Chain A
Amino acid sequence: QQPVQSPQAVILREGEDAVINCSSSKALYSVHWYRQKHGEAPVFLMILLKGGEQKGHDKISASFNEKKQQSSLYLTASQLSYSGTYFCGTENGGSQGNLIFGKGTKLSVKP
């Protein structure tokens, strides 16, 4: 079942913060986050594993609540380079490593 992402789109000014949510109706083994710029391939940002954890690098971090089957991606002090579409990909316990992707959240950062 496709995870649900919210919001569908968000517009920020440089320096503002954003949160993107990803929710699944199934028990999850892991959650991936990817960013895709227009006309390019998705690029891996981070993976969060079952066990409930938080990860981050630079000003982008994420959390995974295993019990609620939810993950959130946090972008702080946004930069123009953060613009793009963010996808979460969820992996279920028996999926052999296959990801089901959400429909994406389009993030636009304005000067």
Chain B
Amino acid sequence: NAGVTQTPKFRILKIGQSMTLQCTQDMNHNYMYWYRQDPGMGLKLIYYSVGAGITDKGEVPNGYNVSRSTTEDFPLRLELAAPSQTSVYFCASRGGGRNYGYTFGSGTRLTVV
């Protein structure tokens, strides 16, 4: 039982490049989330999904896109990377409804130069 798996762990991008951050969970959770974490700011919600085929914007969605074609996978796409997207990205999932906590992946540290 791997939980929530994120790849890659680290990545350096040049301004204007694109990439996809991968997130997979093996717990059959319906709810999945992408957060970014900047020093001293807590975690900000980028996008979320309540089930396969359903996604919606969070607090800071600009510059990102997501898809949810299966229950297990929730990739985050960065188009035209900018220095402001330098951050640590966490994927999380939640099962059993709203009375349960989040399980986070180990994170992706992204630097845009």
Contacts and interface: CB of A to CB of B under 8 A. Distances in A.
A69 B100 CA distance: 20
Given A40-B106, A44-B103, A97-B31, A91 B98 contact: yes
Contacts of A100: 45, 59
Interface of B: 31, 33, 35, 40-45, 48, 50, 56, 58-59, 90, 94, 97-107
Contact of B40 (A41, A98, A103): A103
A73 interface: no
A102 B31 CA distance: 21
Interface in A9-64: 29-30, 32, 34, 40-47, 49
User: Chain A at the B interface: mostly helix, strand, loop or mixed?
Assistant: strand
Contacts of A32: 101-102
Given A41-B106, A98-B45, 19 more contacts: A32-B101, A40-B106, A41-B105, A42-B102, A46-B101, A49-B99, A87-B43, A89-B102, A96-B48, A96-B50, A97-B97, A97-B98, A98-B33, A98-B48, A100-B59, A102-B42, A103-B40, A103-B41, A104-B40
A109 interface: no
B110 to A, nearest CB: 15
Contacts of B56: 96
Interface residues of A, number: 26
